[in-house]
């Protein structure tokens, strides 16, 4: 085996790019090459005569590979940190939070607070950490593989075990004597990310002409609550992108809706329309959440919205399931005027009547825009739903044949549980807060409610594969699929579901023959 010096000289005198050689990549595992941080790599050494590399040194690549094997060692533990690094963090807040964690930990353990300094780097530690840059230096720390390479003189006995490389600000990479308290730092970083995302939304919405494509990209991973009402109105096509035209458009559309009420609503007791109104009147108290729906003002608003829509869309009229689609829009728009910790417990009693009128009109138009894209779900015999359930069956048979075969063996038909998934857009399967998060992405996706929803349903079914395969009875299987345990789901569960749905769409959407046997 060649010595370290010979190996170093070999790579130094080989000027040509070799397969497998490491190049410094911005934003990846290695931060930008910095002579101040990599000074030991630039020390002058006796130059060797420039002679061509001899082919007989067959062990060179193996030696190189063994010394750099940790450069690709990026595991799942680093994914969240790397994602955080991609965001624009406020370095002052991060450093302040890290110092606070250090102080709290020192007080609990009765140990002195760790001090940054040269002696910290000299002492052997049970776990190695990247060298600390000078105080106030916010440059990215070196990856561990580079730190190891830059100190060839250190003996192997003194070298601590290598950690996985991290390209993060130094203030965020702190170890506390082998223990850490990530919760405080994590919540602080999360709040910073949320504040940063909110600022991006506000800047985008405040421009003279909102870039709707950019708004869709930003909204795919969720919309902050303060800007959700305006964002939904833009993404649904209810309001124009030009900020100067929005007030006039709002006024015109609200006036138009109340003209419909004045013209049509009194006919609800006519013989030709009384069956429609009666069905709406029966269905609304069955909706959820009950705390919202059973408020008399809300019941009246929903009755007017659904009756006007049914009269103006005679091809389908009112169909059970449409009533559920009103709720998310209404709740999102009402939360602009009230503070509610939980969307299920919204109280409209303190909202002025004029504000409620405007919210009612906005809800009607946004729901109408949604239904325009899925109206074949509610026409005679509901052909849109029939087709989507069949496509779901074919898709699941390709992505998880074991689940598909298990359902078939126990004579469970997809139409028996998935019809409601399509008819109500999963609103009866997940809590309202999760539906709102789900619709953030649906409105960001092209044909989100009509096309992307299919892949969400497929991911939703496969999500329960373990429980499905454990059930060995038709009745138990059907009861489970109709009452899935999602009461405690939150945004994180929905985000995972959407990520899996996007993966399925990427694999199958443009290749429909892939899920056809």
213, pLDDT greater than 60: yes
Which has the minimum average pLDDT: 26-30, 478-482, 503-507?
26-30
In this structure, are residues 436 and 343 in contact, taking their beta carbons and an 8 Å threshold?
yes
Between residues 25 and 251, which one has the greater pLDDT? 251
pTM of the model: 0.65
Share of the chain above pLDDT 90, in %: 54
CA–CA distance, 275 with 297 (Å, rounded to integer): 22
453, pLDDT greater than 60: yes
458, pLDDT greater than 60: yes
Q: 137: which DSSP letter?
A: -
Q: How far is Cα of residue 281 from the mean position of the Cα atoms in its chain?
A: 37
Say if residue 86 is preceded by a cis peptide, omega within 30 of 0. Answer: no
3 state SS of 123? coil
CA–CA distance, 385 with 475 (Å, rounded to integer): 24
Nearest CA to 333 among 250, 447, 258, 406? 250
Per DSSP, helices labelled H in 69-220 are 79-86, 91-109, 118-122, 144-149, 182-206, 212-219
In this structure, are residues 507 and 454 in contact, taking their beta carbons and an 8 Å threshold?
no
Mean pLDDT in residue range 365-382? 94
Which has the minimum average pLDDT: 167-181, 356-370, 386-400, 494-508?
167-181
Highest mean pLDDT among 70-74, 139-143, 256-260: 256-260
Which has the minimum average pLDDT: 95-99, 154-158, 169-173, 386-390?
169-173
Q: pLDDT tens, 144-163?
A: 334 343 443 444 444 333 33
CB atoms within 10 A of CB 477: 22
b/e burial code for range 130-144 (CB count within 10 A of at least 16 → b): bbbbeeeeeebbbbb
pLDDT of residue 512: 61
In this structure, are residues 477 and 401 in contact, taking their beta carbons and an 8 Å threshold?
no
CA–CA distance, 153 with 188 (Å, rounded to integer): 40
Which has the minimum average pLDDT: 19-28, 257-266, 377-386?
19-28
CA–CA distance, 252 with 246 (Å, rounded to integer): 10
pLDDT of residue 231: 97
Mean pLDDT in residue range 281-295? 90
Q: Which two tokens stand for residue 387?
A: 């087709």
121, pLDDT greater than 50: no
Which has the minimum average pLDDT: 33-42, 325-334, 424-433?
33-42
Q: pLDDT tens, 339-365?
A: 877 888 888 988 999 999 999 999 999
Which residues, other chains included, contact 349 with Cβ-Cβ below 8 Å and sequence gap of 6+?
295, 297
Per the listing, tokens 């809300």 go with 298
Domain with CATH 1.10.472.80 in the chain: 383-510
CA–CA distance, 484 with 461 (Å, rounded to integer): 10
Residue 138 confidence class, pLDDT cut points 50, 70, 90: very low
In this structure, are residues 337 and 355 in contact, taking their beta carbons and an 8 Å threshold?
yes
Q: Is 381 exposed, middle or buried (0-12, 13-18, 19+ CB in 10 A)?
A: exposed
385, pLDDT greater than 50: yes
Residue 233 confidence class, pLDDT cut points 50, 70, 90: very high
What sign has the CA pseudo-torsion 220, 223, 228, 231?
A: negative
DSSP letter for each residue of 157-197: TTPPPPPPP--SBGGG---BTTB--HHHHHHHHHHHHHHHH
3 state SS of 359? helix
Mean pLDDT in residue range 277-305? 93
Q: How far apart are the first and last CA of the chain?
A: 56
CA–CA distance, 419 with 425 (Å, rounded to integer): 10
CA–CA distance, 426 with 420 (Å, rounded to integer): 7
Between CA 393 and CA 401, with CA 396 as vertex, the angle to 5 degrees is 115
Residue 61 confidence class, pLDDT cut points 50, 70, 90: low
114, pLDDT greater than 60: no
In this structure, are residues 137 and 95 in contact, taking their beta carbons and an 8 Å threshold?
no
Topology of domain 383-510 in CATH is Cyclin A; domain 1 (1.10.472)
Distances 127 to 81, 124, 259 between C-alpha atoms, Å: 18, 8, 72
Three-state secondary structure readout of 37-64: CCHHHHCCCCCCCCCCCCCCCCCHHHHH
In this structure, are residues 199 and 206 in contact, taking their beta carbons and an 8 Å threshold?
no
Share of the chain above pLDDT 70, in %: 64
Mean pLDDT in residue range 478-482? 95
CA–CA distance, 127 with 143 (Å, rounded to integer): 15
């Amino acid at each position: 085996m060649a010595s370290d010096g010979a190996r170093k000289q070999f790579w130094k005198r080989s000027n040509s790019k070799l397969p497998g050689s490491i190049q410094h990549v911005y934003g990846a595992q290695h931060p930008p090459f910095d002579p101040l941080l990599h000074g030991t790599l630039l020390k002058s050494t006796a130059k060797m005569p420039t002679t061509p590399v001899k082919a007989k040194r067959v062990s060179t690549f193996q030696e190189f590979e063994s010394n750099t094997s940790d450069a690709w060692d990026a595991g799942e533990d680093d994914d969240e940190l790397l994602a955080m690094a991609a965001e624009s963090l406020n370095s002052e807040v991060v450093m302040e939070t890290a110092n606070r964690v250090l102080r709290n930990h020192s007080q609990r353990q009765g140990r002195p607070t760790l001090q940054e300094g040269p002696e910290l780097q000299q002492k052997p530690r049970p776990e190695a950490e990247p060298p600390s840059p000078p105080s106030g230096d916010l440059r990215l720390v070196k990856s561990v593989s580079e730190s190891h390479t830059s100190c060839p003189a250190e003996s192997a006995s003194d070298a601590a075990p290598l950690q996985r490389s991290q390209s993060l600000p130094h203030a965020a990479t702190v170890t506390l004597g082998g223990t850490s308290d990530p919760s405080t730092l994590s919540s602080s970083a999360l709040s910073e990310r949320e504040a940063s995302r909110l600022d991006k939304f506000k800047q985008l919405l405040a421009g003279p002409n909102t870039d709707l494509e950019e708004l869709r990209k930003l909204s795919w991973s969720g919309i902050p609550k303060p800007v959700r009402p305006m964002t939904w109105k833009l993404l649904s096509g209810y309001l124009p992108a030009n900020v100067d035209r929005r007030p006039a458009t709002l006024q015109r559309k609200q006036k138009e809706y109340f003209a419909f009420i004045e013209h049509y609503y009194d006919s609800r007791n006519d013989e030709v329309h009384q069956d429609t109104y009666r069905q709406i009147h029966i269905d609304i108290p069955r909706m959820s959440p009950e705390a919202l729906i059973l408020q008399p003002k809300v019941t009246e608003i929903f009755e007017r919205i659904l009756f006007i829509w049914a009269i103006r869309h005679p091809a389908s009229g009112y169909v059970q399931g449409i009533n559920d689609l009103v709720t998310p829009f209404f709740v999102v728009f009402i939360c602009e005027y009230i503070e509610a910790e939980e969307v299920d417990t919204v109280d409209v009693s303190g909202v002025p009547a004029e504000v409620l009128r405007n919210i009612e009109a906005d809800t009607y138009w946004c729901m109408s825009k949604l239904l325009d894209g899925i109206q074949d779900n509610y026409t005679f015999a509901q052909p849109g739903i029939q087709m989507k359930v069949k496509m779901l069956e074919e898709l699941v048979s390709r992505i998880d044949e074991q689940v598909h075969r298990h359902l078939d063996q126990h004579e469970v038909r997809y139409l028996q549980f998935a019809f409601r998934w399509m008819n109500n857009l999963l609103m009866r399967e997940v809590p309202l807060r999760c539906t709102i998060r789900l619709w953030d992405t649906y409105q960001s996706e092209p044909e989100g409610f009509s096309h992307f929803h299919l892949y969400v349903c497929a991911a939703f079914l496969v999500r329960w594969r373990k429980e499905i395969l454990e059930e060995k009875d038709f009745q138990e299987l059907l009861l489970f699929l109709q009452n899935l345990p999602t009461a405690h789901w939150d945004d994180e569960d929905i985000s995972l579901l959407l990520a899996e749905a996007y993966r399925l769409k990427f694999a199958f959407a443009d290749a429909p023959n892939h899920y056809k046997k």
